[in-house]
Structure 1
């Protein structure tokens, strides 16, 4: 299942980048769930996999399709980041989402609830030029897992949205698309210990936002 979520005109004088997110969806079947977005930031492809071992094949396919930056979700161990990087070589840069010390206990609690079959909702906040976090958000469910993808135009909006998410009961937040260290810090401060916040290793400078 491939969905083209939205198309936005590219801004002048900005080089769009072909980016991708690979995330683990409970019971997701290989090559079945994919979202594609076009925006001022470039092309973004989001692929769901059912097991971290499937990240290799998914990343190779994405690199074959021209992906320049590939981000692995926090459920995929950084061990797979090394394997993916080796598999695709210099064709794309690879990042994996990790959690700071302040999020470790919360992330462990989320993982436990996930394996017990009753995880709270999770959200991926994605930097995307010109996006609207209300109109452009979309969802994917792999029962009992429920993921909301929320494009935001800048880091300040990302922090605002993160605060709203934890107020409404979201139990996990991951940041994609090039949050800077200061931008990620603002999100962590806004969440204020109410949910774990995972951060990728790509920055705005690398992703050309």
Structure 2
């Protein structure tokens, strides 16, 4: 019997499910985690402890509680927070806390810089919309201006799903849906 593992990493909790090839639930598990709020308007996660830690914890718990052989798992599906940003080295080790999606407002000065540099019309063309706190480029600029040593050491800037995929496969990727949040740094048409 083939089994399928699904894990979802959320803002304040993560969930996992193990299903069989008829979509029957074999086992479910969940765990909560903290979202750090070190300054007003800042929301961040420790990518290693929260994203990767929850993924590993839930995977182990589902296999242990269900009593199945892990070799029976034929596919792993994951979903995670959207347009967040964590700088990583070439081995996919997080170099700083991950800046979360649109709830984190720390990159507002960088957004204002981009609007001043390009004007709202050109910025809208480049980003596909008015630049906002969900965009990755202002977050990367924030790292460059506020944590230059981290920015310099970063091999990649990843979202949660890209981070987890890299941990699982050793490959750096971004899915086409999240690629929009990397505009204008990513050409989604090539």
Q: Is TM-score (shorter-chain normalized) higher than 0.5?
A: no
Identify the structure with the greater strand proportion: 1
Identify the structure with the greater helix proportion: 2
